[in-house]
Amino acid sequence: MTQLLQQYKERLVHYVRGGGLLKDVRFFAGMLVVYLILQATVVANVVVPTGSMLDTIREGERFLVWKLGYGLQNPFSPRHKIERHGEPLLKWRQIARGDIVMFVPPERSGKDEKYVKRVIGLPGDTVEVRPFDGVYVNGQRLDEPYVRRPAALAYGPVTVPADHLLVLGDNRNNSFDGRFWGFLPAESVQGVVALRYWPPWRAGTVH
């Protein structure tokens, strides 16, 4: 046993003095930096903790969020994007009605954690929620097969201001969303929910 311990000690000394430890520390530090950069700017892992998006998204399900879709997020300011000439850098497409997005809600909501909701109102849209009926955008009733049951409370009509969105949860009667804390600045959207990977029997794209 003593001889075995001595061999391990010698190997450890050689590992440290030979630079092996420093190389490994540099490698893992580099991997951590790459991971943090990817999480901040390209793709993020998110767990949905509530039932506000039932039945589309269930509590505890895990998703990958594509963060480059709407522009490069500022890693030091979760409510803003990196811009060039007034437009988000690396922006691939416009935010569309029906997109399921991840964002940090406005400060007046009193929350700082990331939310996942569905885009309903785009800039300039007039939106009204009619009790036990549905959502009307610019006078037309939306076809929303993803909604668990119609909202019981009226909302609007309201007009979405420029550079803002109205986002709602699919579980309309159990969702703390734009009806309560107002319009969402479009630049606060961090990405589109792209892929459900857990649980595996529900894996796939999300609509």
**Other CB atoms within 10 Å distance of the CB of residue 38:** 12
What number does CATH give the domain 42-205? Answer: 2.10.109.10
The yes-or-no verdict on residue 10 having pLDDT over 60 is no
**What 8-state DSSP symbol labels residue 109?**
G
Phi-psi region of 178 (alpha: psi -120 to 50; beta: other; left: phi over 0): alpha
Quick: pLDDT tens for 83-141: 666 666 556 678 999 999 999 888 766 666 789 999 999 999 999 999 999 999 999 99
How do the domains of the chain map onto residue ranges?
Answer: 2-38, 42-205
Q: Is 117 a catalytic residue?
A: yes
Q: Is 77 a catalytic residue?
A: no
Query: Residue 15 — pLDDT band, cuts 50, 70, 90?
Result: very low
Catalytic residue among 67, 117, 175, 188: 117
Catalytic residue among 52, 81, 114, 188: 52
Q: In whole numbers, what is the pLDDT of the chain averaged over residues? A: 81
Verdict on whether the full-model pTM lies above 0.85 = no
Strand order in the sheet with 126-130: 140-141, 134-137, 126-130, 155-159
